Structure 1
Amino acid sequence: MHALPLTSQPTPLPQRVLLVENSRAYVQAVAQAIEHQLELPVTAASTLAEARQALEEHDDWFMVLTGLVLADGDRDMVVDCFLDRGLPTVVVSGVYDEDLRERMLRRQIIDFVVKSTPGNLDYIVWLVQRLERNRRISALVVDDSPSARTHAAALLEMFGYRVVQAADGPEALRALEGDQTIRLAVVDQEMPGMQGIELTRRLRALRTRDRVAVIGVSGRDDPGLVARFLKNGANDFLRKPYTREEFFCRVSQNVDQLELIGSLQDLATRDFLTGLPNRRHFLEQAERMVPRLQDVRAPVAAAMLDIDHFKHINDSWGHDTGDQALRAVAAAVSSHARRQDQVARFGGEEFCLLVPGLEGEELARYFEDLRQRIEDLRVPVRGSELQMTVSIGVRSAEPGDDLHRLLTEADRRLYLAKAAGRNRVIVSD
């Protein structure tokens, strides 16, 4: 398993978007795009009074998208209404006015967006999605200057990131080792003891490019500095002083790239239907795990699990119901598995588990409990309920067993379980 068991439910993050705009057509287009593409609830207001009333009625506001032309408030009054409440605010304007843009960006707004810009709607959806996702990401700011560190941290917090600050390289490395949610590091070059390039090189020994994006920062006018940062593992570089817009664009671009890489890795390693690791990924992980456990003579078992009469489910209920059955069994297997177990959908209606640390009665009980959990499932289908059973074959590793033998013997016991009447577990002695 890849996720830690949860001991308590985290507090849900605010999700509601307030859209303040006097153009009904624009409100409809933006609200529809956000609700359909991002599944975030949108509340629309055409006046400042309506906006204030909406703010009083709910307390789960995530952000505000606001125009500046309202019947009951001037530009500053509109922006003050939301900034005074600490709400992330994006200003949407009908006209491009450089003086107005600079004036607004001197305030603590997230962005200034022009309606008439080509791709405006796509940009707004991306911006809302980016800000919503940022709240689950930690960013590390490393700078020996308290003022520079505080400035970068404040910008990142404005964009929704959880921020960890460090005054030097050793403190930054300790923070990185202790916090797996850190996906971004902003690293200054000029620091005593360990400069930014050296810190970046050491950081890369802890986290690869697909895990953490590193942005180097410096105020020095050194043409070779950018190349040295990049060659030592940085993803990008910013020269001080930078504007808020440049900072936000560079940070967002790098985090977008991390998420894209993560999506591609999921496509390569996960089964699309069930979300479980696929056969290829399972075999790669298991090929490393089994020899390691065998070397220290730790118990390990492999199991093959197959849904009974799955063809009958497809023929009688349809393939959509068959897909629901597969997802339900996958969820049961995933929930039952411990953190150290490896699970996968092997193909069709067949699943595989690699379970270390259990043997004898304990091992038999583990799989009997899993069999019972699946038998107890009730999958709602068109006003009725689908019930399923599974057969499971289990092989405990013996000295000299490799992964191929483990899986072959587990598969043989699965066949015996089917032949003995299905809905049962057969475990090797």
Structure 2
Amino acid sequence: MGERLLVILGGGESGVGAAVLAKQKGYKVFLSDGSSLKEVYRNELNAAGIEWEEGQHSVDRILQADEVMKSPGIPEKNELIIQIRKKGIPIISEIELAYRYKGDSKVVAITGSNGKTTTTSLIYHIFKTAGLDAALVGNIGESFAKQVALDPKPVYIVEVSSFQLDDIIEFRPDIAVLTNITEDHLDRYDYKFENYIRSKFSITKNQKTGDYFIYNMDDEVTMEYIDQFKINSKQLPISMAHENSGAFIKDGDMYVRTGDDFMAMSVYDFTLKGKHNQYNTMAGCLAGTTMEIRKEKIREAVQTFQNLEHRMEHVATIRGVEFINDSKATNINSTWYALESMDKPTVLILGGVDKGNDYSLLTDMVKEKVKAIVCLGVDNQKIHEAFDSAVSVVIDTASAQEAVVAAFGYSEKGDVVLLSPGCASFDLFKNYEDRGAQFKKAVIDL
């Protein structure tokens, strides 16, 4: 039979991680990327002796594959994917490949339209505080497959997107978390919201009776569809409106129940502020209790958790204007979530290297929440085209300091200045961390 050929489409973090794992497990591996690879990934592939190509797809060679792993960024409508499907070659996602080789390790998987990065990070913090040797993988940080290949752990905490869930076969988390479902990425689901919803719920499709499913019973979409899926795992709801068998908040206290055990804690002790973060915290605490982590450890973790730097990070409030650093928002969806959580008039700092962004996804949110847009990029033409008619002020700046000064000028007491660029940072900065750091310095210097 010979070696099985695994073709990997897309040479980003997940593609390269999958290539490394597949090569280690004895597959013949060929990685193909239609655009160019980052230097660091080229070096990694060469060091592992993996064949790759960039700037093109050798279709004949790809169609020889026994199996194809595609990057979550490649839609089903892609011509190459259509040909692969037509030939009947199975397509899997990186999380499926990683799952195949994870051994006895436990998997906690988190998905949802909003809040998944925060919830994932909090669960990791709870597990680490309790002394569990866990890895934080998926959309956040390292690729799941690369972690399995190079540094296997007894527990993987994986942030998964709907795109990754679209191509699972056996992937089965011991604990699945669905934070919520809002209309997002509909372009990838033939503009049918149901397709996107089905994709999110597939996180439960292989679960067995001993597994857990944590979901938000206050989320209308989740509740409208939950009965349409056969869910075998033990369901643990979270809510602010209903007392339930999972976790709920009542009169400023959170109660967490799994089985006979019960813990209570004041929401004022949460380091994460804001209503959406109370849901994230409940989900995190439930994940902790299902892993039988002691209440004291969960409580300690929730009181010491620091939100990620550059992810909706409060920098300072100056003369009544709050500055928030969300430099980690390198795509439009991230910016959408950031705006969605704003409850004050917002001056938005937007722009950078655009990866074919469709700014129209932000139009309604911008009209509702944003009073001025400050562009921070070398070429801001598309932003002007998208928003000049929607917002009265759209201006150009060429440095973090200039952007902060301009944004402050358009703000008044009670407003928020939000750096949530929706773009990569390479035109003016080294990376998103550098962009966030320069923004924070400029705010402090005001």
Q: Same fold by TM (over 0.5)?
A: no
Greater share of helix residues, 1 or 2?
Answer: 1
Higher relative contact order (CA 8 A, sep 6+): 2
User: TM-score scaled by structure 1?
Assistant: 0.25
Higher alpha-carbon Rg: 1
User: TM-score scaled by structure 2?
Assistant: 0.24
